[in-house]
Amino acid sequence: MEGLLQRMGMLRGWSPQTLSAYRSDLKHATGFLHSSRSCSIFDASQDDIASYLGVLRKAGLKESSISRRRSSLSTWYGYLQEEGWREDHPVRNLPGMRRGRRLPKELSEKEVELLLTAPETGQPTGLRDRCMLELMYATGLRVSELTGLTLSNIDLQTGIVRVIGKGNKERMVPFGEEAEIWLKKWLQKRAGIASIHLFPGRSGKAMSRQNFWQRIKLYANQAGISPLPSPHTLRHAFATHLLNHGADLRAVQMLLGHANITTTEIYTHVSRARLHDLVNSSHPLGRRQ
């Protein structure tokens, strides 16, 4: 399985994180199929896969997690079909899953301001973190894209950051004056660091996503933000706040690097929810009795 999985990742331009997620899902399914169905991940039938998904439901796994594992299996069997390993696809004709559309947790503009100003910028670490938070909110980068930036990805003259996103696709994202101010401060402070990474960790390598998440939790606690935001909360805030201020949906799609606009459309639901709140709180007849 590992060799085929590595080839899939190479052909599809998966990041190491994506490859790791697929590996984890397929290994979990393999364990069940071997022990409970006496088959392998290569020759499992539609009934075998249905049984596996049923066990996940009985175990109380969230529908979003079950859907992700089903998707991993569907991708796997689609690849086996393409390569001639199988004629059928044991996942494709399974009954569809009902999933509610999950809206991302949202930070208000005031909460974003509190989060951005939480780091102590008199210290190098705090200055680095302020710059990272400012740049993430200014560009909507994914955490992995932000932590993976190198010095060559930033062009201060044009105010553009060059991003290598999912599927190894490149996009150019502009950043504003505030992010530029903090970038210049950080670049001046990190001038003596021998690393190609814009935000290196202690070893000089790129900061890990886990480390950045811990930093966000620290500053959210300091700012009194509850519940604690996720690592992608600033990305969500970037998209939602742009739409709230009249940005074009297609433009936001390009900035976020979404391949399909339906992925971006989830943020329009957040914006509409805020419009309802605005009417209910501000219009003289907004509150229903």
Query: Which residues lie below 8 Å from residue 62, measured CB to CB, with a gap of 6+?
Result: none
| 287: annotated active-site residue | no
Give the C-alpha separation, 213 to 23, whole Å.
Answer: 23
Pick the closest to residue 250 from 274, 268, 275 (CA basis): 268
CB contact at 8 A, 172 and 193: no
Which position among 37, 166, 185, 274 bears the catalytic label?
166
| 267: annotated active-site residue | yes
Give the C-alpha separation, 245 to 237, whole Å.
Answer: 12
Which position among 70, 130, 197, 232 bears the catalytic label?
232
Which position among 77, 137, 219, 267 bears the catalytic label?
267
Show contacts of 247-255: CB within 8 Å, 24+ apart.
252/140, 254/171, 255/139, 255/140, 255/171, 255/173
CB contact at 8 A, 160 and 172: yes
CB contact at 8 A, 180 and 156: yes
| 184: annotated active-site residue | no
Which position among 69, 128, 130, 142 bears the catalytic label?
142
Pick the closest to residue 216 from 232, 239, 198 (CA basis): 232
**Residues labelled as active-site residues:** 142, 166, 232, 235, 258, 267
